[in-house]
Amino acid sequence: MTQSQISTTSMDEPVEIMPAVRPSPVRGALARRIFDYAADRVHATVRWPDGTVTGGGSHDVGAPVFEIVRPDQLFARLARDYKIGFGEAYMAGDWRAADGHDLADVLEPWAARLTELVPKGLQRLRGLADLSAPPVQRNSVAGSRSNIEAHYDLSNELFSRFLDPSLTYSAALFAQPSSPFTGDLQEAQERKLDSVLDLAGVRVGSRVLEIGSGWGSLLLRAAKRGAHVTSITLSSEQLALAQHQVDAAGLSEQVDLRLQDYRDVRGQFDAVVSIEMIEAVGREYWPNYFAAIDALLAPGGKAAIQAITMGHRQMLATQRSHSWILKYIFPGGMLPSLRAIDEALDRHTGLEVTQDLSFGPHYGETLRRWRQRFEANWDDIRVHGFDERFRRMWEFYLGYCEAGFRSEYIGVHQLQMRRA
């Protein structure tokens, strides 16, 4: 990873870590009007460089404060692409959470009303302004490998600095049904893993297929139950570490780890499990994904997947759009709706959803803890080649996702699937 150019200034000055954007007076003025509209709409509190406070929440005592550092650059980036520019402006230091305020708290009102940020009259022009995802991000066999490597092969050292010791990179399931959540994160992750394995009916002697190995926490949990596990991944970094953990645990005879695409797996399995992998499949390939699960599931078997979801209307509105998170974090990704999953199962498989565990707020807490660890361990992370631009990019990613789950704009579900 190359180091971005950094100009260190006083604490009150922005840090130059991204190229400046040439402002357009007309487009910048329009972006300012849309921003002001949105800030009023979501009841945000916005502080400007001269100390002026605006927004629908400007009179709310103690409300989280969105602090603008460089208005011209903020609106230049928003004018270029409103959705991508918002996150890029944070990366560039054009805005920030004011001192004493948390980033996710600042972002939550925006996430809660994401579909209402642009006036209805301008929403009709969305198709003209929205950029499509680059064709190279299609999740073909070759494209999937490239998209997965772009995120999961960043560095095992990076992920080990903010995940729990089991290196589980998905929503934890805490003992409490709702906030405030307490308890150890690793215990909550193990509870989540056990829930998925229980939904899939994994027990001694089960033949298990895991689609998406991660760093091995689920496959190890399944093998310790006495199951025989085939686990596939497209990340060579994850494969190497997962294999090391399998060998260290003395479970090599029970686990077959492969660098393989789900479309290339053959055989029959009593259980198919997959945690937060469908988000990387892409809508174009959801039929292939579910058809593969159906074909690989032995008679009487069960599948269990954990999926991040969004509302169906929101999914349809954004399905062809390029977004900040697709550009910088998860190329090729797309969140399904529960309705889209049901439709794909009905049209392309003999499977149906027979159990549904929803626990979206638990993901908000999981992300909060990840972000705390990421920030606390930044000095250990940056020595592995990660720069200030990367730090702000990942702060925004973790904080924005946390706000999304807290506001219930997005959710997470464990779904059991069986043949009708």
* pLDDT tens-digit readout, 244-274: 999 999 999 999 999 999 999 999 999 999 9
pLDDT tens sequence across 308-343: 999 999 899 887 778 899 999 998 889 999 999 999
Angle at which helix 388-406 crosses helix 82-92, to 10 degrees, equals 130
- The pLDDT, as a whole number, for residue 117 is 66
Return the closest-CA partner of residue 311 out of 233, 241, 408: 408
Active site residue 401: yes
1 pLDDT higher than 60? no
Residue 236 contacts residue 153 (beta carbons within 8 Å): yes
pLDDT tens sequence across 368-406: 999 999 999 999 999 999 999 999 999 999 999 999 999
Q: 70 in helix, strand or coil?
A: coil
**Residue-averaged pLDDT of the chain:** 90
Query: Which of 109-118, 189-198, 199-208, 256-265 has the least mean pLDDT?
Result: 109-118
- The pLDDT, as a whole number, for residue 58 is 85
* C-alpha triplet 317, 318, 322: angle, nearest 5°: 150
- Beta-sheet strands, E only, within 103-235: 207-211, 228-233
Q: Which of 31, 197, 393, 401 is catalytic?
A: 401
- The pLDDT, as a whole number, for residue 280 is 93
- The pLDDT, as a whole number, for residue 145 is 65
Residue 129 contacts residue 34 (beta carbons within 8 Å): no
3 pLDDT higher than 50? no
In this prediction, residues 196-220 reach a mean pLDDT of: 98
361 pLDDT higher than 70? yes
- The pLDDT, as a whole number, for residue 131 is 53
Burial 355-385 (b: 16+ CB within 10 A, else e): eebebbbbbbbbbbbbbebbeeebeebeeee
User: How many angstroms separate the CA atoms of 6 and 19, rounded?
Assistant: 11
What is the length of the chain? 420
pLDDT tens sequence across 97-145: 999 999 999 999 998 777 666 655 555 544 444 555 566 556 776 667 6
Ordered by where they begin, the domains of the chain are 25-129 (no CATH), 137-419 (3.40.50.150)
The pTM of the full predicted model, rounded to 2 decimals, is 0.90
User: How many angstroms separate the CA atoms of 221 and 156, rounded?
Assistant: 20
- The pLDDT, as a whole number, for residue 136 is 52
pLDDT tens sequence across 34-77: 999 999 999 999 999 999 999 998 888 889 999 999 999 999 99
Write the DSSP symbol of residue 20. -
Return the closest-CA partner of residue 218 out of 255, 267, 252: 255
- The pLDDT, as a whole number, for residue 153 is 77
User: How many angstroms separate the CA atoms of 360 and 367, rounded?
Assistant: 11
Question: Beta 207-211 vs 269-275: how paired, if at all?
Answer: parallel
Percentage of the residues of the chain whose pLDDT score is greater than 70? 89
Residue 92 contacts residue 73 (beta carbons within 8 Å): yes
- The pLDDT, as a whole number, for residue 374 is 98
In this prediction, residues 215-225 reach a mean pLDDT of: 98
User: How many angstroms separate the CA atoms of 275 and 352, rounded?
Assistant: 18
In this prediction, residues 281-301 reach a mean pLDDT of: 96
Distances (CA, A) of 282 to 138, 170, 258, 274, 330: 7, 18, 22, 15, 11
